[in-house]
């Protein structure tokens, strides 16, 4: 019987693992390398300094095309900014609203406002970007296979046209106007390389290399996808310790109860 | 449960067994209570709702004699820039004439105890049965006391928002507010 | 109801006695969950009925609370789910519990079904008990499917499109039926609304069928690992405290595994594409249902014919209804069926293979593999079971449960 239980457990584990290991559609894109993230593992937390720099990248670079509609400016306080710092960050941002007579106006953003969208709607976003609307970034890290590793790989995976081999140019029919990315499915990506060395000047004095920028904005977007992650892990540790204690006691009780039947 | 005794199993030391049972039961009860909390807490106001619990209003564009209505916590708030005449009338009313005696000064004081008689900020909900009184927009019936008039059951309020006539028992409610600058007021 | 304990219980507490004299709920609990004579030789597989019940209660409790914050509208559903995660106090916890609770409910039920098949719990006189169980399984599948649509992500939308389109395979009336299911010409707001309504309703239907399942169980009592009926008090123990405590322990251990996933890998069992809001104009490159549907999804795709695939898929479940009559063996438990025991394990492996086929794109060797696995699935039920029962020679069986327990202890 024991053998059977073990085989059953293995079969079940295989079934569960099998579903997780969904094979990516056959393609030539490289598999993103695993990076070490501050937020990984059962006790990992967000690197606040990196995520704050990541917000600067989002604000100065990404936000021109990508919305972050599920976040509100008040959420930035969870990233370690004080209320006054956030008010400073958003002092020049205006958001659309209606006045008392129902006419559309723009007014200064408040803490309770959602992040300003770069385009009024999806159709306008597509029209302004060669027919393909830039995706919202609110849950982008959860919405892509590979998560943070993929995002970082994508941001650092651009290859300039002149550095492509003739074979690559031929195989993927790349032209000078295409953006080639080794990690993007099909390689040709609508977004031009958004980051480069010294693309921004960090307010905290960190040197803005391409790798640093990509890692920082990924840290920020990982936080944006799941701001409650630290709470989740903390609660989880407590719950599991509690259940282990309860299981131990239950087992002792069960043994006591069954003592005369075994 | 009090039941007919059923011989329970186990020959272990009864004291140790009872202790185990009680400890397990107690821990289980603690766990059940801890599980119940998120379910209850779930129905509390969410962060986006709480973010709107206080609002900031710029009162600079409101001319003397004008009033605006802003929405706060799902209810209308009247902000009136009172004229000197309004204030004079409000101050002159003897307390004995008021069903709900309150001085005008006490109704125009912010949470920092600063008195600004020109700004009257009230929740625009009639204290009778919850209708929104008229009189905040130009051209609306301000009622016999020059303040607000509730069309539902005829309650009339004066220029300090105090009940003067009609079925409403109390003055219009003053929310907590604070002038952070001379023109910026935070309500709530 | 169980007839072995004749005298009604006496309640010392006057209030309880007063109520029980008029509405015998306490007598019922006493008889069915306290003194109820239960075979003394259960192994841990017998915990999964209790575990599944706990998961059902957990799903309803978390679901009701989630419903208080969810908005069933195509323009707002996705954001309202995110708002539950982000802004509702501990909303993320309730949603992660519900989302993964579905998976763990299915894990518990699959183990429970396996146990029933391995130990022949479906055999006379428990055929209706088994059939009620299959009804619960079907209702669970319907509920889970409609629940997965509610977050209105890409997988929600396209999963719903694919599964509801199954009905278009029905000759003549197929298209009218899908239009009726959708409440429109494609999956849209009316579909989302009705799925939400049904997703809220069906769990309570499940509760009702579970109640019938338990009533049917308590007529003849539980099966046990030997498959031999209890012959007297030496073969049984009262349900409480023996099995309440054992079930309690099993439930807590199961909850540890469940919590590990809820708190440390809440999105592991889900699909990344469901965090992309539904877009009726773009199909994800690789549509997969939730893991618990994968074996059936593989059977659907294994048949290279639309109607045939649908029939095979529903047939894979329908065959379970007649399982009590397909199995011709006189012996219940696989413990005493030396050949069937191995075929039972091969069936588990076959279902796992089908699951893997369902998870992978229908290309290359996955296609023939899924076809072979599908054929084997039906071979097992429709051919192997009837024949094996006739030709297999069972091992010698102990005269009673007590003897089996003593023998095991000695050996």
The answer to whether B50 and B180 have CB atoms below 8 angstroms apart is: no
Minimal CA separation from B108 to chain A, in Å? 25
| Shared-domain flag, residues A11 and A33 | yes
pLDDT in tens, A50-70: 999 999 999 999 999 999 999
In a domain, A103, yes or no: no
What ipTM describes this predicted complex? 0.93
Q: Is the pLDDT of residue A27 over 80?
A: no
pLDDT in tens, C174-193: 999 999 999 999 999 999 99
- Helices C340-359 and C366-379 sit at what angle, rounded to 10 degrees? 150
Looking at residue B149, what is its pLDDT?
A: 93
Exposed/middle/buried for residue B75 (C-beta within 10 Å: 0-12, 13-18, 19+): middle
Backbone angles phi, psi at B84, to 5 degrees: -60, -35
At B119 the three-state DSSP class reads strand
Q: How confident is the model at residue C84 (pLDDT cuts 50, 70, 90)?
A: very high
User: What does the alpha-carbon distance between residue B8 and residue C239 come to, in Å, rounded to a whole number?
Assistant: 10
- Cβ-defined contact of A8 to C245 (cutoff 8 Å): no
Q: Provide the residue count of chain B.
A: 188
Average pLDDT in chain C: 94
Those residues whose C-beta lies under 8 Å from the C-beta of residue C107, and which sit 6 or more positions away, are: A12, A16
Q: Is the pLDDT of residue B12 over 80?
A: no
Q: How many CB atoms lie within 10 A of CB C97?
A: 26
Q: How confident is the model at residue B7 (pLDDT cuts 50, 70, 90)?
A: very low
- Helices C366-379 and C294-302 sit at what angle, rounded to 10 degrees? 100
Looking at residue A227, what is its pLDDT?
A: 97
Looking at residue A219, what is its pLDDT?
A: 98
Test mutation, B35, B39, B43, chain C, max C CBs within 10 A: B39
| Shared-domain flag, residues A58 and A16 | yes
In a domain, A29, yes or no: yes
Unique residue bearing structure tokens 């990924």: A218
Q: How confident is the model at residue A10 (pLDDT cuts 50, 70, 90)?
A: low
- Domains present along chain C, CATH in parentheses: 36-289+322-337+394-410 (1.20.810.10)
The answer to whether A254 and C246 have CB atoms below 8 angstroms apart is: yes
Unique residue bearing structure tokens 């958004």: A194
Chain B residues touching C26 at Cβ < 8 A: 1
Minimal CA separation from C39 to chain B, in Å? 15
Is the bond into C26 cis (omega within 30 degrees of 0)? no
- Is A100 an 8 Å CB contact of chain B? yes
Chains touching chain B, criterion 3+ CB pairs below 8 Å: A, C
Of residues C114, C245, C356, nearest to A253 (C-beta) = C245
User: What does the alpha-carbon distance between residue C282 and residue C267 come to, in Å, rounded to a whole number?
Assistant: 23
Chain A residues touching B28 at Cβ < 8 A: 246
| Shared-domain flag, residues A243 and A163 | no
Q: Measured between alpha carbons, how far is residue C140 from residues C133, C137, C337 in Å?
A: 10, 5, 31
In a domain, A9, yes or no: yes
Q: DSSP letter at C7? A: S
Those residues whose C-beta lies under 8 Å from the C-beta of residue C228, and which sit 6 or more positions away, are: C332, C333, C397, C398, C400, C401, C404
| Shared-domain flag, residues A193 and A255 | no
What is the DSSP track for B30-81? HHHHHHHHHHHHTTSPPHHHHHTSSEEEE-TT--TT-EEEEEETTEEEEEEE
- Cβ-defined contact of A1 to C86 (cutoff 8 Å): no
Instruction: State the pairing for strand pair B146-150/B67-72.
Output: unpaired
Looking at residue B74, what is its pLDDT?
A: 87
Mean pLDDT of the C50-61 span: 98
Helix (H) or strand (E) holding B164, with range, is: strand B163-165
User: What does the alpha-carbon distance between residue B54 and residue B188 come to, in Å, rounded to a whole number?
Assistant: 4
pLDDT in tens, A228-243: 999 999 999 999 999 9
pLDDT in tens, B158-172: 999 999 999 999 999
Of residues C266, C272, C409, nearest to A144 (C-beta) = C272
Chain C residues touching B39 at Cβ < 8 A: 61-62, 65, 94
Chain A residues touching C288 at Cβ < 8 A: 19, 22
Backbone angles phi, psi at C196, to 5 degrees: -65, -45
Q: How many CB atoms lie within 10 A of CB A96?
A: 11
- Is C9 an 8 Å CB contact of chain B? yes
Helix (H) or strand (E) holding C317, with range, is: helix C306-321
State whether the Cα torsion C301-C302-C305-C308 is positive or negative: negative
Q: Is the pLDDT of residue A22 over 60?
A: no
- Is C247 an 8 Å CB contact of chain B? no
- b/e C302-337 (16+ beta carbons within 10 angstroms → b): bbeeeeebbbbbebbeebbeebbebbebebbbbbbb
User: What does the alpha-carbon distance between residue C40 and residue C275 come to, in Å, rounded to a whole number?
Assistant: 48
User: What does the alpha-carbon distance between residue A258 and residue C325 come to, in Å, rounded to a whole number?
Assistant: 37
Test mutation, A243, A244, A248, A259, chain C, max C CBs within 10 A: A243
Chain C residues touching A244 at Cβ < 8 A: 256
In a domain, A134, yes or no: yes
Chain C residues touching A19 at Cβ < 8 A: 269, 288, 291, 294, 355, 359
Which residue in the list C235, C271, C290, C392 is annotated as catalytic? C290
Q: How confident is the model at residue A23 (pLDDT cuts 50, 70, 90)?
A: very low
The token pair at C93 is 């916890």
Q: Is the pLDDT of residue A6 over 80?
A: no
At C268 the three-state DSSP class reads coil
Chains touching chain C, criterion 3+ CB pairs below 8 Å: A, B
Test mutation, C246, C247, C282, chain A, max A CBs within 10 A: C246
**Percentage with pLDDT > 90 across chain A:** 77
Those residues whose C-beta lies under 8 Å from the C-beta of residue B91, and which sit 6 or more positions away, are: B104, B105
The answer to whether A114 and A71 have CB atoms below 8 angstroms apart is: yes
- Is B29 an 8 Å CB contact of chain A? no
Chain C residues touching B6 at Cβ < 8 A: 34-35, 238, 240
- Is B51 an 8 Å CB contact of chain A? yes
- Cβ-defined contact of A1 to C285 (cutoff 8 Å): no
| Shared-domain flag, residues A60 and A171 | yes
Mean pLDDT of the A33-47 span: 95
Is the bond into C241 cis (omega within 30 degrees of 0)? yes
Looking at residue A98, what is its pLDDT?
A: 87
The token pair at A227 is 């701001």
In a domain, A91, yes or no: no
Domain that holds residue A258: 238-262
Q: Is the pLDDT of residue A1 over 70?
A: no
In a domain, A232, yes or no: no
- Is B13 an 8 Å CB contact of chain A? no
- Is B10 an 8 Å CB contact of chain A? yes
pLDDT in tens, B141-158: 888 998 999 999 999 999
| Shared-domain flag, residues A58 and A163 | yes
Q: Is the pLDDT of residue C92 over 50?
A: yes
Those residues whose C-beta lies under 8 Å from the C-beta of residue C146, and which sit 6 or more positions away, are: C195, C196, C198, C199, C202
| Shared-domain flag, residues A125 and A251 | no
| Shared-domain flag, residues A201 and A147 | yes
Mean pLDDT of the C326-332 span: 95
Test mutation, A254, A255, A259, A262, chain C, max C CBs within 10 A: A254
Question: Domain holding A31: CATH number?
Answer: 1.10.760.10
Q: Is the pLDDT of residue C3 over 90?
A: no
C123 flagged as catalytic: no
Give the residue ranges of DSSP H helices in C221-238. none
Of residues C11, C65, C242, nearest to B3 (C-beta) = C11
Mean pLDDT of the C257-285 span: 95
- For B27, nearest residue in chain A (alpha carbons): A246
| Shared-domain flag, residues A11 and A137 | yes
Chain B residues touching A234 at Cβ < 8 A: none
B153 flagged as catalytic: yes
Looking at residue B56, what is its pLDDT?
A: 86
Chain A residues touching B11 at Cβ < 8 A: 259-260
- b/e A189-214 (16+ beta carbons within 10 angstroms → b): bebebbbeeeebebeeeeebebebbb
- Cβ-defined contact of C273 to A7 (cutoff 8 Å): no
Minimal CA separation from C314 to chain B, in Å? 37
pLDDT in tens, C125-170: 999 999 999 999 999 999 999 999 999 999 999 999 999 999 999 9
* Contacts of A192-196 spanning 24+ positions with Cβ under 8 A: A193/A158, A194/A61, A194/A62, A194/A155, A195/A57, A195/A61, A195/A155, A195/A156
Closest by CA to C401, choosing from C225, C247, C245, is C225
pLDDT in tens, C301-327: 999 999 999 999 999 999 999 999 999
At C123 the three-state DSSP class reads coil
Looking at residue B13, what is its pLDDT?
A: 64
pLDDT in tens, C342-377: 999 999 999 999 999 999 998 999 999 999 999 999
- For B21, nearest residue in chain C (alpha carbons): C245
| Shared-domain flag, residues A144 and A255 | no
Unique residue bearing structure tokens 């002149």: A162
SS (H, E, C) C277-315: ECCCCCCCCCCCCCHHHHHHHHHHHHCCCHHHHHHHHHH
| Shared-domain flag, residues A172 and A45 | yes
Q: How confident is the model at residue C296 (pLDDT cuts 50, 70, 90)?
A: very high
- For A250, nearest residue in chain B (alpha carbons): B24
In a domain, A8, yes or no: yes
Counted domains in chain A: 2
Closest by CA to B171, choosing from B118, B93, B114, is B93
| Shared-domain flag, residues A199 and A220 | yes
Looking at residue C410, what is its pLDDT?
A: 74
Of residues B9, B16, B56, nearest to A257 (C-beta) = B9
Which residue in the list C240, C246, C306, C341 is annotated as catalytic? C246
User: What does the alpha-carbon distance between residue A163 and residue B169 come to, in Å, rounded to a whole number?
Assistant: 82
In a domain, A85, yes or no: no
Of residues C83, C88, C242, nearest to B42 (C-beta) = C88
Closest by CA to B104, choosing from B119, B121, B87, is B87
Minimal CA separation from C92 to chain A, in Å? 8
pLDDT in tens, A174-220: 999 899 999 999 899 999 999 999 999 999 999 999 999 999 999 99
pLDDT in tens, C204-255: 999 999 999 999 999 999 999 999 999 999 999 999 999 999 999 999 999 9
């Amino acid at each position: 019987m024991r053998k059977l239980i073990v085989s059953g457990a293995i079969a079940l584990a295989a079934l569960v693992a099998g579903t997780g290991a969904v094979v990516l559609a056959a393609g030539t894109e490289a598999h993103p390398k695993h990076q070490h993230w501050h937020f990984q593992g059962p006790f990992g937390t967000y690197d606040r300094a990196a995520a704050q720099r990541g917000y600067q990248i989002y604000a100065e670079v990404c936000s021109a095309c990508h919305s972050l509609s599920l976040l509100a400016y008040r959420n930035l306080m969870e990233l370690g900014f004080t209320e006054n710092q956030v008010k400073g960050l958003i002092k020049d941002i205006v958001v659309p609203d209606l006045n008392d007579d129902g006419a559309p106006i723009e007014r200064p953003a408040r803490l309770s406002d959602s992040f300003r969208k770069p385009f009024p709607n999806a159709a306008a976003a597509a029209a302004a970007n060669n027919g393909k609307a830039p995706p919202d970034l609110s849950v982008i890290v959860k919405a892509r296979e590979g998560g943070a590793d993929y995002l970082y790989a994508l941001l650092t995976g651009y290859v300039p046209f002149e550095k492509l081999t003739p074979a690559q140019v031929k195989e993927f029919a790349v032209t000078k106007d295409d953006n080639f990315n080794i990690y993007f499915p099909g390689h040709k990506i609508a977004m031009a390389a958004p980051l480069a060395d010294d693309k921004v000047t960090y307010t905290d004095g960190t040197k803005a290399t391409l790798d640093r920028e990509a890692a920082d904005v990924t840290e920020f977007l990982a936080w944006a996808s799941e701001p409650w992650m630290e709470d989740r892990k903390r609660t989880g540790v407590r719950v599991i310790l509690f259940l282990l204690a309860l299981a131990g006691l239950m087992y002792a009780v069960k043994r006591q109860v069954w003592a005369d039947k075994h | 449960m009090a039941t007919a005794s059923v011989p329970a199993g186990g020959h272990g030391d009864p004291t140790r067994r009872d202790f185990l049972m009680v400890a397990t039961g107690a821990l289980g009860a603690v766990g059940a209570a801890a599980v119940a909390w998120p379910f209850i807490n779930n129905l509390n106001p969410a962060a986006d709702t709480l973010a709107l619990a206080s609002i900031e209003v710029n009162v600079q564009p409101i001319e003397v004699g004008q009033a605006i209505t802003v929405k706060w916590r799902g209810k209308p708030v009247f902000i009136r820039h009172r004229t000197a005449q309004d204030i004079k009338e409000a101050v002159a009313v003897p307390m004995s004439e008021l069903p709900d005696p309150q001085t005008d000064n006490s109704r125009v004081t912010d949470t920092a105890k600063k008195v600004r008689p020109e700004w009257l900020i009230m929740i625009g909900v009639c204290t009778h049965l919850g209708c929104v009184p008229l009189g905040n927009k130009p051209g609306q019936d301000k009622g016999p006391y020059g303040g607000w008039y509730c069309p539902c059951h005829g309650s009339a309020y004066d220029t300090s928002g105090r009940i003067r006539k009609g079925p409403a028992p109390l003055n219009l409610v003053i929310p907590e507010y604070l002038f952070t600058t001379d023109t910026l007021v935070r309500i709530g | 109801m169980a007839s072995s304990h004749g005298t009604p219980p006496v309640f010392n507490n006057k209030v309880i006695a007063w109520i029980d004299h008029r509405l015998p709920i306490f007598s019922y609990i006493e008889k069915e969950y306290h003194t109820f004579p239960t075979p003394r030789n259960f192994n841990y597989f017998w915990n999964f009925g209790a575990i599944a019940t706990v998961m059902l209660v957990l799903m309803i409790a978390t679901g009701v609370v989630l419903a208080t914050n969810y908005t069933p509208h195509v323009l707002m559903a996705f954001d309202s789910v995110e708002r539950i995660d982000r802004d509702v106090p501990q909303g993320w916890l309730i949603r992660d519990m519900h989302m993964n609770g579905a998976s763990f409910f299915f894990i518990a039920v699959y183990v429970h079904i396996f146990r029933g098949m391995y130990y022949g719990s479906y055999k006379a006189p428990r055929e209706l008990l088994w059939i009620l169980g299959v009804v619960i399984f079907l209702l669970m599948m319907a509920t889970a499917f409609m629940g997965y649509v509610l977050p209105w992500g890409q997988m929600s939308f396209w999963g719903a499109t694919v599964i509801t389109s199954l009905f278009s395979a029905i000759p003549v009336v197929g298209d009218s039926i899908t239009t009726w299911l959708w409440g429109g010409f494609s999956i849209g707001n009316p579909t989302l609304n009705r799925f939400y309504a049904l997703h809220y309703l069906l769990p309570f239907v499940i509760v009702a069928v579970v109640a019938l399942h338990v009533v049917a169980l308590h007529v003849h009592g539980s099966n046990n690992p030997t498959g031999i009926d209890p012959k007297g008090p030496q073969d049984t123990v009262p349900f409480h405290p023996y099995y309440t405590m054992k079930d309690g322990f099993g439930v807590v251990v199961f909850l540890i595994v469940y919590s590990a996933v809820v708190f440390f890998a809440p999105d592991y069992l889900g699909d990344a594409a469901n965090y992309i809001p539904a877009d009726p104009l773009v199909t994800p490159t690789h549509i997969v249902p939730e893991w618990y549907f994968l074996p059936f999804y593989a059977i659907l795709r294994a048949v290279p014919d639309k109607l045939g695939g649908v029939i095979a898929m529903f047939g894979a479940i329908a065959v379970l209804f007649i399982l009590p009559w397909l199995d011709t063996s006189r012996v219940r438990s696989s413990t005493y069926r030396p050949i069937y025991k191995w075929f039972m394990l091969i069936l588990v492996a076959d279902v796992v293979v089908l699951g893997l086929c369902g998870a992978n794109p229908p290309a290359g060797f996955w296609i023939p593999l899924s076809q072979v696995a599908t054929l084997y699935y039906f071979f097992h039920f429709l051919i192997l079971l009837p024949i094996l029962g006739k030709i297999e020679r069972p091992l010698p069986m102990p005269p009673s449960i007590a003897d089996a327990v003593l023998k095991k202890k000695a050996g």
